[in-house]
């Protein structure tokens, strides 16, 4: 079985990691704009990368520079988008995944009417994509909610944020009606891993953190269901996906206790998709809430909305896999995508300690399709690495080609096994600021951007060796890897 003729090949980014121009066109501050650069990838400290205190926020608000806040400068795609889209066209992209910064449309989240300059920017952007035959795939929320809503409501744990988000989404649907594919919340399950970035929850202002996280998730489920209904009404033939961080976990050994530990991790990883695809909370999660004294504020009307407005497809990110064991102290630990877990001795790791597990992608696709029986979309997969720009402007990234070649080969095998897959967008087609560490030196792209961790550089774009390789993959619809 081959990939479908209209298979959506492309790349994925988020506004806060590429756009820059953080105070241009009336944009307000988002939670991403207060994240500082962290060079550290130490397994013991991995959580520190994504933690933000009230003190950090106050210092960031007083500082209007981009020096310590790389997401404020991104790769300046705001001013380079025509050039970047031309490169994506050259790659043969059928689709480009990006997010709409809420703070460009509603700078604090609470304005009565939207910011026209923000709308105009994205209209131009989408027009340019369309003119180049590239389908937009838009994420409404990708770690960049208005900072004001974090400060005023302590983020998504407050139900008033639901209406504010719905107002934002409605403006997007009405003004960007050419967009057919929408994702509501990027890696929605990440609220329990980094509550500030994903849900605007400031930990030191929160008494019962775990309860607040699950409440925020519930409020996001409700918001997601409401806007799913809305977009179906406003844009005919539109399709909405949930977006899950696929954290594939294997048992460290065949010991039943280890198998159980892995099973429990995977169940917790699946729970958000369960709610958004099946329209109801899984019973095991309700038991977990009881056992952990987590009391959610829900109404029957909200639960009905969730039930009636499930997603059309399931999108997910996949980067690595980890091991779980009954006794974790026996494991050699390593980091993954804002998680830590046991290191699999059969797998190599990237410079940042993430395991490279192509078969894990096939396993993930089969598991997800078997569980949900709905079309899947891989909207993030890629490798962060240190690249070297040679004096002649070339970048020889054979390691990246190898990574993609292996993952795409496993993806094809899953499709051969019967998995229905809409498309594949690599993370990320162009170098950008890392979500977790705000490093520029953690490079993902087929396109190199001349900028270092301190923000020095010309921002000139260069094609890496992998550019030509991915171009050929798309041209042959994945037949030749």
For the annotated catalytic residues, the residue numbers are 187, 380
Q: How far is the CB of 455 from ligand BG6 (least distance, A)?
A: 17
Q: Which is nearer to ligand BG6, 17 or 249 (CB)?
A: 17
Does 435 contact ligand BG6 by CB under 6 A? Answer: yes
Does 52 contact ligand BG6 by CB under 6 A? Answer: no
Structure tokens at 147: 């900072």
Q: Count the alpha carbons within 13 Å of 95 in the hemisphere toward its beta carbon.
A: 24
Cα–Cα distance, 184 to 326 (Å, whole number): 35
Residues 9-38 that bind ligand BG6 (CB under 6 A): 14, 17
Cα–Cα distance, 252 to 380 (Å, whole number): 26
Does 380 contact ligand BG6 by CB under 6 A? Answer: yes
Q: Which stretch binds ligand BG6 (CB under 6 A): 157-165, 174-182, 432-440, 454-462?
A: 432-440
H-type alpha helices, 384-430: 398-416
By beta-carbon distance, which residue lies closest to ligand BG6? Answer: 436
CA distances to 142, 187, 197, 263, 455 from 194, rounded to whole Å, are 13, 11, 6, 22, 25
Does 469 contact ligand BG6 by CB under 6 A? Answer: no
Q: How far is the CB of 326 from ligand BG6 (least distance, A)?
A: 28
DSSP structure class, residue 451: -
**Among 215, 310, 317, 364, which residue interacts with ligand BG6 (rule: CB under 6 A)?**
317
CB 144 within 8 A of CB 433: no
Does 193 contact ligand BG6 by CB under 6 A? Answer: no
Q: Which is nearer to ligand BG6, 195 or 384 (CB)?
A: 384
Kindly provide the residue ranges of all beta strands, DSSP E only, lying in 292-365, ordered along the sequence: 313-317, 321-324, 333-335, 340-342
**Among 97, 400, 407, 442, which residue interacts with ligand BG6 (rule: CB under 6 A)?**
442
Does 384 contact ligand BG6 by CB under 6 A? Answer: yes
CB atoms within 10 A of CB 419: 19
CB 464 within 8 A of CB 397: yes
Q: How far is the CB of 137 from ligand BG6 (least distance, A)?
A: 13
Cα–Cα distance, 470 to 481 (Å, whole number): 8
Nearest alpha carbon to residue 200 among 223, 176, 181: 223
Q: How far is the CB of 386 from ligand BG6 (least distance, A)?
A: 13
Residues 327-356 that bind ligand BG6 (CB under 6 A): 337
Q: How far is the CB of 19 from ligand BG6 (least distance, A)?
A: 13
Q: How far is the CB of 171 from ligand BG6 (least distance, A)?
A: 23
Query: From residue 96 to residue 125, what is the string marking binding to ligand BG6 with x (rule CB under 6 A)?
Result: ------------------------------
Q: How far is the CB of 437 from ligand BG6 (least distance, A)?
A: 6
**Among 427, 446, 448, 469, which residue interacts with ligand BG6 (rule: CB under 6 A)?**
427
Task: Give 276's strand partners.
Answer: none
Does 434 contact ligand BG6 by CB under 6 A? Answer: yes
Structure tokens at 374: 């709905």
Does 139 contact ligand BG6 by CB under 6 A? Answer: no
User: Residue 423 in 3-state DSSP?
Assistant: strand
Q: Which is nearer to ligand BG6, 140 or 435 (CB)?
A: 435
Does 70 contact ligand BG6 by CB under 6 A? Answer: no
Cα–Cα distance, 375 to 381 (Å, whole number): 17
Q: Which is nearer to ligand BG6, 142 or 362 (CB)?
A: 142
H/E element, 448: strand 447-449
Buried b (16+ CB within 10 A) or exposed e, 434-448: bbbbbbbbbbbbbbb
CB 143 within 8 A of CB 16: yes
Residues 148-187 that bind ligand BG6 (CB under 6 A): 186-187
Q: Which residues bind ligand BG6 (CB under 6 A)?
A: 14, 17, 186-187, 245, 317, 337, 380, 384, 427, 434-436, 442
């Amino acid at each position: 079985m081959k990939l479908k003729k209209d298979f959506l090949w492309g790349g994925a980014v988020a506004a806060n990691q590429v756009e820059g121009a953080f105070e241009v066109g009336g944009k307000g501050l988002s939670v991403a704009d207060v994240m500082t650069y962290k060079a550290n990838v130490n397994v013991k400290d991995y959580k520190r990368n994504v933690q933000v205190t009230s003190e950090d926020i106050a210092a960031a608000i007083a500082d209007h520079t981009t020096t310590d806040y790389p997401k404020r400068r991104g790769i300046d795609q705001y001013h380079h988008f025509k050039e970047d889209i031309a490169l994506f066209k050259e790659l043969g992209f059928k689709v480009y995944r990006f997010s709409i910064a809420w703070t460009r449309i509603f700078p604090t989240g609470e304005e009565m009417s939207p910011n026209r300059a923000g709308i105009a920017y994205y209209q131009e952007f989408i027009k340019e994509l369309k003119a180049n035959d590239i389908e937009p795939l838009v994420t409404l929320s990708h770690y960049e909610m208005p900072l004001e809503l974090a400060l005023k409501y302590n983020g998504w744990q407050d139900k008033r944020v639901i209406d504010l988000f719905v107002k934002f989404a409605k403006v997007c649907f009405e003004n960007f009606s050419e967009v057919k594919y929408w994702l509501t919340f990027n890696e929605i399950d990440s609220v329990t891993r980094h509550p500030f970035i994903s849900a605007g929850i400031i930990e030191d202002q929160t008494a019962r953190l775990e309860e607040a996280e699950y409440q925020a998730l519930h409020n996001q489920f409700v918001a997601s269901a409401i806007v799913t209904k809305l977009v179906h009404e406003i844009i005919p033939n539109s399709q909405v996906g949930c977006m899950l961080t696929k954290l594939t976990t294997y048992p460290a050994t065949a010991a039943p206790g280890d198998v159980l530990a892995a099973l429990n991790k995977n169940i917790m990883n699946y729970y958000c998709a369960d709610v958004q695809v099946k329209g109801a909370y899984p019973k095991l999660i309700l038991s977990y809430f009881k056992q952990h004294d987590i009391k959610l504020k829900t109404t029957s009307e909200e639960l009905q909305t969730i039930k009636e407005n499930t997603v059309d497809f399931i999108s997910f990110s996949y980067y690595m896999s980890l091991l779980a064991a009954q006794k974790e102290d026996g494991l050699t630990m390593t980091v993954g995508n804002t998680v830590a877990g046991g290191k699999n001795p059969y797998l190599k790791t990237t410079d940042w300690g993430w395991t490279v597990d192509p078969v894990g992608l096939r396993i993930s696709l089969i598991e997800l399709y078997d569980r949900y029986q709905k079309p899947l979309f891989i909207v993030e997969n890629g490798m962060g690495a240190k690249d070297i720009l040679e004096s002649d402007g070339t970048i020889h990234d054979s390691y990246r080609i190898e990574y993609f070649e292996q993952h795409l080969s496993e993806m094809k095998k899953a499709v051969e096994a019967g998995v229905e897959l809409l498309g594949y967008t690599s993370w990320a087609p162009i170098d950008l600021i890392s979500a977790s560490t705000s490093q520029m030196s953690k490079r993902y792209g087929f396109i190199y951007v001349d900028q270092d961790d301190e923000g020095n550089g010309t921002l000139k774009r260069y094609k890496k060796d992998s550019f030509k390789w991915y171009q050929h993959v798309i041209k042959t619809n994945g037949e030749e890897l």
